[in-house]
Structure 1
Amino acid sequence: MQLFFDGTKVQSINEFHCVFSRLLGIEDYYGKNYHALRDVLSAAVERPCHLVWENSEASKVSLGDDFKLIIQIFEDTRLQDEKYGWTDKFTYELK
C-alpha cells in the first residue's frame, strides 16, 4: 500500500489528524492524538505501507514541534518493523 499525504493541506495538528484518518479511512474510530497515531501505525496499518509526505516542508513550517513528533513516531514505527525482521514494513518519505 502506498499513501500520499499533501503537506499543503495541513496547517495545524488537528488538520494533520483529520487528513491522516481520512487517508486511511478510519475517521470514525481514530483518536486524533499522538497515542492514536502510534497505535494505528504500529498495529493497524496493513504492511507493506509506504507513506509519501509531499510538500513536507510546508507542514514542517506550519506544525513546528508537532511535525518533529509526528516524524519521530514514523521513525519509531519504521525501526520497530526492522527490529522484528518483517519483510513487509512501514516506511515513509518526505518530499
Structure 2
Amino acid sequence: MSVKRCTISGRSVHSLNELYDELARQLPLPDYFGRNLDALWDVLSTDIEGPVELIWEDSEHSKRSMGKDYERVVSLLRDLAKEREDFRVIFR
C-alpha cells in the first residue's frame, strides 16, 4: 500500500483553521470532520487508512504564530504516532 504523504508548511499555517484546511486539502478527511482537536484525533486514528506520513516543514513558524494551539496539535500528533504503527510525524 502506498504511503499517504501530507506536507504542512509552517510558513503558511498560522492557526488551527489553516491547519484543518491544509489537512483537508491533502488527506481524505470525511465531510463530517468537526474541525476541532477531538475530531482531528478521531479521523486520524480511525478514518484515514495508513500508512500516513505527516511532515511539518518550518514548524517553528507555526509554533510562533499558533502558540498553545501548536503545542496541543503536536502532542496529539505524537500521541497518534505512538498509537498507530502506520502513522509517522516529522517536524522540521
Q: What TM-score does the superposition give when structure 2 sets the normalisation length?
A: 0.86
Runs of 4+, deviation exceeding 4 Å: none
Give distance in 2, aligned partners of 1:23 and 1:62.
Answer: 22
CA contact (8 A) 2:54 2:90 kept: yes
CA distance in 2 between counterparts of 1:58 and 1:43 reads 29
Residue 78 of structure 1, aligned match among 64, 78, 81 = 81
Distance in 2 of aligned mates of 1:32 and 1:8: 21
Greater shift, 48-57 or 4-13, is seen at 4-13
Paired position in structure 1 for 2:32: 29
Aligned residues: 89
2:12 corresponds to which residue? 9
Query: In the alignment, is the contact (CA less than 8 A) between 2:28 and 2:48 conserved in 1?
Result: no
Q: Distance in 2 between matches of 1:46 and 1:80?
A: 14
Cα distance in structure 2, aligned partners of 1:49 and 1:23: 11
Cα pair 1:18 1:27 within 8 Å, conserved? no
Contact 2:6 2:23 in 1 (8 A): no
Unaligned runs of 5+ in 2: none
Deviations 1:3-58 (A, max 9, x none): 11111111122111112222214373321100111011111122111101011111
TM-score by length of structure 1 reads: 0.84
Task: Give RMSD over aligned pairs.
Answer: 1.4
User: Higher helix fraction: Structure 1 or Structure 2?
Assistant: 1
